[in-house]
Amino acid sequence: MSDSKLETQSLEATSPKKSWLSKLPWWIPQKRYVFETQEEIDEGYRLRIKKSANKEEQLYQVREYKDEANRKWYHFFNEFEYRYTTEELNKHDWWRWFDKGTSSEEKKLITKLDILITFVAFLGYWSKSLSQSNLNNAYVSGMKEDIGMKGNDLIDTQVLFSAANIIFELPFIFTLPRINPTYMLFGAELFWSVFTLTLSTVKNPAALKGMRFLVGAGEGLFFPMYHYIFANFYKPTEIQRRTGTYYFGLYLGTLTSGLLQSAIFNALDGVNNISGWRYMFLIDGVIAFTITLITLFCVPGTPFKCYSIWLTDDEIKLARKRMRENGTDEKPPTTKQFFDPKVYKTIFGSWIFWIFTLSNIGGFNSNSEW
């Protein structure tokens, strides 16, 4: 047998088994299998770790870390204890979108990611904010009388929405490293788009509460998923501007919700004998569904589980290299780790977990988002 045939058989034996998605047209997002040599993989770790005969030495540090063993517990709150190194600070200026020394290839990749992830996340958060605000707008625009809402029906509906967000967010967080990011995000957005549309047909408070609970369940994946994707494509010094842009979607939704709902009500109330508040849910659902389709075709997943139709193989390799330089773990946690009681003992036995969890709950309960 010739060497070329042996090489072909060897590649076929080592290449991963492709899913049924690979049989679909190219414009349907499917997992990208990008081959990397060991040299390319090692290159990603080159800037962080230098291997010598006796030890591993970290060449490049983003922050200056102090001695953990002998430090007092209250030093945890000293933000200046973990300041950026001089070398790192010299790379950043507040007016620069790209850090000093960023190559043209990396700038092109980051620009693509800003469009495919940050801008689409901004649109999604805007849609999510509209979905959160439309209930109150509908309530004061005739929904209360049309479906016979009384007493605490509005408050109960709001609580059910928030409860669904919280209940379904927890399992999603644990499954993030194990799932298909692109299709899971698409499915969650499609789920809440459909039930936002369905809200336009409710006839009584019970149906409203049920539909609203399902909308909240669908939205439970949105927040942790985008932060997971941000952390898998951007370095710590890049992520603040991207998440800041993402949060503008929340405030734009709050700003435009009342204006949009008012315009819809004034223009469509009574058309075809349909109340204006029902048109509000219909149009919000159409907006959410449109952004859902954009999400499917734009959001790339993660560098190591990539489903993008817009990134080239070289750009995926570069994205992986950036994360290796950052120290991002490319191996998903195992099931054994998930059920290891020592992990949960460490988490729930830490005062840090309780202090920051309770303070975060208090912060969210005291803001005006809900």
Q: What whole-number distance in Å separates Cα of residue 331 and Cα of residue 304? A: 9
Cβ 200 vs Cβ 278: under 8 Å: yes
User: 359 or 2: which carries more pLDDT confidence?
Assistant: 359
What average pLDDT does the segment 158-178 reach? 85
Q: What are 230's two structure tokens? A: 């941000």
| Residue 63 pLDDT > 80 | no
Q: What whole-number distance in Å separates Cα of residue 370 and Cα of residue 362? A: 13
User: 7 or 359: which carries more pLDDT confidence?
Assistant: 359
pLDDT for 3-53, tens place per residue?
444 444 444 444 555 566 667 787 788 888 888 888 888 777 765 555 555
What average pLDDT does the segment 212-234 reach? 91
Average pLDDT score, the chain: 82
pLDDT for the residue numbered 233: 94
pLDDT for the residue numbered 214: 93
pLDDT for 303-342, tens place per residue?
998 999 999 999 999 999 998 887 777 777 777 777 788 8
| DSSP string over 213-226 | HHHHHHHTTHHHHH
pLDDT for the residue numbered 160: 93
Percent of the chain with pLDDT over 90: 36
Provide the pLDDT confidence category of residue 166 given band limits of 50, 70 and 90. confident
Cβ 29 vs Cβ 305: under 8 Å: no
| Cβ count near 350 (within 10 Å) | 11
Provide the pLDDT confidence category of residue 293 given band limits of 50, 70 and 90. very high
| Residue 112 pLDDT > 90 | yes
How do strand 305-306 and strand 301-302 relate by DSSP bridges?
antiparallel
The ranges of the chain annotated as CATH 1.20.1250.20 are 104-353
pLDDT for the residue numbered 295: 95
pLDDT for the residue numbered 88: 73
Q: What is the DSSP letter of 143?
A: I
- DSSP H helices, 101-221, are 104-113, 120-138, 144-147, 153-175, 181-198, 205-219
What average pLDDT does the segment 136-158 reach? 92
pLDDT for the residue numbered 6: 41
- Which among 72-81, 99-108, 161-170, 286-295 has the top mean pLDDT? 286-295
What average pLDDT does the segment 193-216 reach? 93
pLDDT for the residue numbered 113: 96
Q: What are 84's two structure tokens? A: 């950026």
Element holding 50 (H helix, E strand): strand 49-51
pLDDT for the residue numbered 324: 87
| Residue 265 pLDDT > 50 | yes
CATH number at 104-353:
1.20.1250.20
| Residue 370 pLDDT > 60 | no
Q: Which residues contact 230 (CB under 8 A, 6 or more apart)?
A: 117, 121, 239, 242, 243, 246
